[in-house]
Amino acid sequence: MVRVILLGAPGAGKGTQADAIEDKYGYKQISTGDLIRAEVSAKTEIGLKVKAIMEKGELVSDDIVIELLKNRLKQDDTVGGYIMDGFPRNRHQAEELSRMEADREVVIYLEVNEDVVIQRLLSRLTCSVCGAIFNLLSDTPKQAGKCDECGGTLIQRADDNEETIRNRIRVYKEQTQPVIDYYLEKGHEGSFHQIDASKPVDVIFAEIEGALR
């Protein structure tokens, strides 16, 4: 079973590339952000607890996220392989993930500068039904406000506003960037791939295909 780990700042393109990898290779995309958003919209006990934290752009506690992830991995659609999108977000989560079995682990770091991600996130639209991602500047939906894939309504995520975006980037620098060193120290050189994520989506995907070979 293959585990692909996508690292990179908010807006680096992890969700977009995870979608493309899932389509081509059949590995299942697992976004911890989506798992948490599902709890928030279902107003579960966990959802009510984490809503405000998420809206501020802070990290939800490790215990909660790890439990959501472990439950998700119990479903058998991940046995052929899965893609981690948004996890690990700190060193402790990375250590926890290493304890979960995988035959092969490929780490892909989507590297992009801060100005690019702020622009991307401010113009991002997400389908409220299937989670597909669009962008008002570079990847406009065919029909305004409607998802090309499922016809669902496109929304701006509650945390895609400038203040929260800046906080998410700060949190990323402080807590998530050290995860890159974790994988380098762990001896992941052979399966650690840094990709310039300011390039067009299909160019980045071609480089990911090279990394997955």
Q: Which residues are catalytic?
A: 14, 89, 124, 157, 168
Query: Residue 59 interacts with ligand AMP (CB under 6 A)?
Result: yes
d(CA 51, CA 40): 6
Q: Which of 3, 28, 51, 89 binds ligand AMP (CB under 6 A)?
A: 89
Query: Residue 57 interacts with ligand AMP (CB under 6 A)?
Result: yes
How is residue 87 annotated by DSSP?
A: -
Nearer to ligand AMP, 142 or 204 (CB): 204
Q: Stretches 30-38, 108-116, 122-130, 144-152: which one binds ligand AMP (CB under 6 A)?
A: 30-38
How is residue 105 annotated by DSSP?
A: E
* Closest separation in Å from C-beta 213 to ligand AMP: 27
Question: Is 158 within 8 Å of 37 (Cβ atoms)?
Answer: no
Nearer to ligand AMP, 74 or 213 (CB): 74
Q: Is residue 69 exposed (0-12), middle (13-18) or buried (19+ Cβ within 10 Å)?
A: buried
Counting residues that bind ligand AMP (by CB under 6 A) gives: 18
Residue keyed to tokens 């995860």: 179
- Tokens found for residue 18: 């995870």
d(CA 204, CA 108): 11
Q: Which residues bind ligand AMP (CB under 6 A)?
A: 10, 31-33, 36, 53-54, 57-60, 65, 86-87, 89, 93, 159, 168
